[in-house]
C-alpha cells in the first residue's frame, strides 16, 4: 500500500466492490460559463459546472453500460467535491480519486460562441491534478483493468504528469490492459514546439490513438489522414477525425494487413463544439471494446459527437445506448447484456 502522507482518498461508494474494466485518468476542473450568450467581460450571471476530457469520456462510457473509473486528484475545496459528486452521479467509480489540501482544484472559464467561436481560459497552473506522479498510480486499479484511456492534456500539466503518462503507456501491456490515447492538443497550456515531439512519442506507445486532422496539421504539418498514418504506421488502431467531414480508421491486423475505413460525419446544427471530441472518443471506444466492426465504431463515435454538439455542456447526458434508426448497428444492442461483461477484448 502506497504511503499517502497528508493526502486523502475520496470515500468509497456503495456497492462499488466490483473492479472497473475501464479506467480513465486526467484532470477535471470546475467550469464557469455565462448564463447568457455574452462575452465574459460583459456577462453578469454564471453557472458552475465541471469539465475534463477524460472524465467526459468516462461519463459517456458509463452511460453506455461500461464499468468505468476515473482517477486523478482534486483539492479538498468545494469544486473538488462538486467534481466527485458529478462523476458519481453519472455512474463513474471515483474510489481512487485522490484529494489534497495542498493544491486547489483547477478552474476554467468558457466563453460561448458570440461570432468567433467558443473560447476557454484555463486557471490550472499548480492545480491538484498537476501534482500527479507515478507513485500516485500505485493504488489505481490499472492492473485489473482491461482498458485505460488518457489524453495528451495530462503530459502538458507538469513534468511529473508527463512521466506518469509514459509510465502507464509503458506498463499497460504487462498489466494486461489496452491503452487508448486521444492527442487533444491544448495550445493554451504548452507550445507546439514542446508538444509536437512529446505527443508523437507518447502516441507511438499506445494501442489506439485518436487525433483531429486539424491538430495533426498544427503539430506535425499533416495534410491528410494518410500523412498521420505515415507518422504512426505501427499502431493497431489510428482514428483521424476531419471535423464535420468524416473520420478514418486505420486498423492493423496481427499479420500486417491494414484495413482503412472512412465514415462520414453526421450533419447537425452545432450549438457548441466543446466536448464533441470526447463524445466521439467514447462512442468509438465503446464499440471497439465491445468487438463491433470498424464502420459501427466510427458511426457510434459520430452519433455521440452529434448529440454533444447540440448542447453547451461539456457532457450531455441522455443519449444512452438506445437504438436509433439513423445509427448503424451490426447487432441488436438492446439485447446485449453489457452489465455482465461490459469490456470485451478489442478486435484483432
Cβ-contact 50, 317 below 8 angstroms: no
278 is annotated as an active-site residue: yes
In the chain, % helix, strand, coil (3-state, to 5) comes to: 30, 20, 45
Give the β-pairing of 29-34 and 22-25. unpaired
Cβ-contact 304, 265 below 8 angstroms: no
Grid cell of 295 as nine digits: 464502420
Please calculate the CA angle 173-199-186 and round it to the nearest 5 degrees: 125
307 three-class SS? helix
CA 136, chain centre distance (Å): 20
Catalytic residue among 93, 136, 182, 278: 278
Among the listed residues 346, 339, 345, the one whose alpha carbon sits nearest the alpha carbon of residue 67:
339
Q: Which helix H or strand E contains 238, and what residues bound it?
A: strand 237-242
How buried is residue 175: exposed, middle or buried, by Cβ count under 10 Å (0-12/13-18/19+)?
Answer: middle
Cα–Cα distances in Å, from 293 out to 149, 271, 298?
20, 30, 9
Query: How far apart are the C-alpha atoms of 301 and 246, rounded to whole Å?
Result: 11
Question: Which single residue is written with the C-alpha cell 506518469?
Answer: 164
Catalytic site positions: 278
Amino acid at each position: 500500500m502506497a504511503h499517502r502522507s497528508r493526502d486523502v482518498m475520496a470515500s468509497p461508494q456503495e456497492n462499488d466492490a466490483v473492479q472497473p474494466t475501464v479506467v480513465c485518468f486526467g484532470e477535471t476542473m470546475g467550469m464557469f460559463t455565462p448564463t447568457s450568450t455574452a462575452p465574459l467581460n460583459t456577462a453578469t450571471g454564471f453557472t458552475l459546472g465541471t469539465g475534463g476530457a477524460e472524465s467526459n469520456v468516462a461519463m459517456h462510457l458509463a452511460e453506455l453500460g461500461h464499468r468505468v473509473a476515473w482517477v486523478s486528484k482534486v483539492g479538498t475545496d468545494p469544486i473538488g467535491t462538486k467534481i466527485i459528486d458529478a462523476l458519481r452521479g453519472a455512474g463513474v467509480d471515483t474510489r481512487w480519486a485522490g484529494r489534497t489540501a495542498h493544491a486547489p482544484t483547477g478552474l476554467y472559464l468558457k466563453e460561448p460562441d458570440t461570432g468567433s467561436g467558443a473560447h476557454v481560459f484555463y486557471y490550472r497552473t499548480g492545480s491538484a491534478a498537476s501534482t500527479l506522479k507515478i507513485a500516485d498510480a500505485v493504488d489505481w486499479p490499472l492492473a485489473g483493468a482491461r482498458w485505460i484511456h488518457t489524453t495528451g492534456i495530462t503530459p502538458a500539466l507538469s513534468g511529473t504528469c508527463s512521466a506518469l503518462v509514459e509510465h502507464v503507456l509503458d506498463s499497460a501491456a504487462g498489466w494486461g490492459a489496452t491503452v487508448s490515447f486521444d492527442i487533444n492538443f491544448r495550445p493554451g497550456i504548452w507550445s507546439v514546439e514542446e508538444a509536437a515531439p512529446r505527443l508523437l512519442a507518447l502516441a507511438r506507445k499506445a494501442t489506439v490513438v485518436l487525433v483531429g486532422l486539424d491538430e495533426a496539421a498544427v503539430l506535425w504539418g499533416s495534410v491528410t489522414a494518410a500523412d498521420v498514418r505515415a507518422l504512426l504506421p505501427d499502431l493497431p488502431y489510428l482514428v483521424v477525425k476531419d471535423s464535420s467531414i468524416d473520420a478514418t480508421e486505420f486498423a492493423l491486423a496481427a499479420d500486417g494487413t491494414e484495413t482503412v475505413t472512412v465514415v462520414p460525419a453526421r450533419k447537425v446544427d452545432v450549438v457548441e463544439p466543446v466536448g464533441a471530441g470526447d463524445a466521439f472518443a467514447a462512442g468509438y471506444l465503446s464499440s471497439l471494446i465491445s468487438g463491433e466492426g470498424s464502420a459501427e465504431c466510427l458511426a457510434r463515435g459520430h452519433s455521440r459527437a452529434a448529440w454533444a454538439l447540440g448542447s453547451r455542456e461539456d457532457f450531455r447526458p441522455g443519449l444512452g445506448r438506445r437504438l436509433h434508426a439513423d445509427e448503424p448497428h451490426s447487432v441488436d444492442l438492446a439485447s446485449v447484456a453489457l452489465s455482465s461483461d461490459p469490456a470485451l477484448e478489442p478486435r484483432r
